[in-house]
Structure formats: C-alpha cells, structure tokens
Amino acid sequence: MNHRLCLSLLLAVLIWPASADVSRISLFALFKDKAIIQVNDARRMLAAGETSPEGVKLISTDTEAEEAVVERSGKRETLKLGVVVLDNSNTSRDKVVLHADERGFFLSDGEINGHYVKFLVDTGANTIALNSETARRLGIDYRKGVAGKARTASGYALIFGITLDKVKVGDILLRNVDAGVIDGPQPETPLLGMSFLKALEMKRDGDRMELIQRY
C-alpha cells in the first residue's frame, strides 16, 4: 500500500463521525442557530445542520421556547433546557418521582446529614444551597467553610462553601456533596442544585419528573 493511499485512509478515519451509543443527551446552552449539547459525558457545540461525533445532528433552535430539535438514528426529538433524555434506562435503579406544584416547581422531601429538609429542585444552582438559619438547625458549623460572596434577591451576601456528609432524596443517597450556606434568610427553601443532580439522570414529562441514580 503506497503512502498516498495510507494517508487517504487515515484522513477518512479522522473525519468520519464515529458511531457511539448515546445513553444520555441534554441541552446545556442555547443560542440562535447554535447549541451546546451534552452527549453522554461530552459537551458539543453544534451549529444548525451540524452532526456531533456521536451522530447527534442539530436541526434547529428556539431561544424563546428554550428548546432545540435534534436528530439521531433517523429520528427527531425536541430537547428542553435542563432536561436529560435517557435511553436504555435500568428500571431497577433507585429513583424518585416528583410532580410539579401549582407554581410549576418541583419539591421533594429529603435529608441532610440525617435531618429532614424540604428541597426545591433547581438545575440553575451550581450546588445545594441553604440559608444560615437552616444550616444552624441542622447542626452545620458552616462558618468553618470557605467564605465568598453570592448574589441574592436583596443584594450580595456572604456564602460559605462546605461539604455535606450525606444528602438523601427518597432512596437516593449521596455522600460528600458540595453545598453553599448563604448568611441570611435566602433561600427560604433549600435548593437541590447540580452538586447533587449531576450524579443523577433526570427525565421530565410535563409536570412529572424522575430522578434516577446512576451506578
């Protein structure tokens, strides 16, 4: 085989999209005619008409509706911001089913370090977030955490980065979860943020949401 043929074959391998099993796909960020799509553990910036190495093609975006249409395996589907679409889910895994309240919020009973709390699911929060009064009630010495600043509805406030020993929602238990304690009354309800949710798979259908633990 001559060098020119070898080079042609190598280029074909490099530029041909690799086929891969897509078990998780979500819309991470949205722009006009572009989107960042999370495919399994990889984030792909795609323009309309472009296909990721995993075979996910971006068809169109709608910034007002906060959604994008993609195509994979010849089928089109609509992705919503913050919602993970799953394939081949294992129904034997621990999961929690939540239903939106009249305001459209998803609330869940849970525990922090063995103490009861009511969580508000918030995919826009980087970590679990709770106010200082709640932290004291739970016996958390949050002032030993890393101090910083956080923007709240009433302005800037001190925030302390800490690690929670245990966080539980339903039968889903995670250990050593990052959290932030805001010095003040906000948030009124502890936020179940991405430091917990990133370890789960999320499925939403209207006012119904499933949180599924990954193994």
Specify the pLDDT at position 160: 96
Judge whether 3-86 and 95-213 match in fold: no
d(CA 129, CA 40): 26
Write the CATH number of the domain with boundaries 3-86: 2.30.30.830
Specify the pLDDT at position 5: 32
Specify the pLDDT at position 38: 84
Distances (CA, A) of 108 to 80, 128, 174, 175: 21, 13, 15, 18
The b-or-e profile of 23-57 (16+ CB within 10 A means b, else e) is ebbbbeebeeeebebbbeeeebebeeeeebebbbb
Specify the pLDDT at position 84: 57
Specify the pLDDT at position 9: 29
**Topology (CATH) of 95-213:** Cathepsin D, subunit A; domain 1 (2.40.70)
Specify the pLDDT at position 87: 52
Specify the pLDDT at position 183: 92
Find out whether 113 and 166 touch, Cβ atoms under 8 Å: yes
Specify the pLDDT at position 7: 33
Distances (CA, A) of 207 to 83, 102, 113, 123, 198: 12, 10, 29, 15, 21
Residue spans of the domains in the chain: they are 3-86, 95-213
Per-residue pLDDT of the chain (215 residues; tens, 9 = 90+): 443 433 332 333 333 334 456 667 888 787 888 988 888 778 889 999 999 988 999 999 988 888 899 998 888 888 887 665 555 444 456 789 999 999 999 999 999 999 999 999 999 899 999 999 999 999 999 999 999 988 776 778 899 999 999 999 988 999 999 999 999 999 999 999 999 999 998 988 889 999 998 76
Specify the pLDDT at position 107: 95
The CA-CA-CA angle for residues 68, 73, 79, to 5°, reads: 20
Can you give the pTM of this predicted structure?
A: 0.57
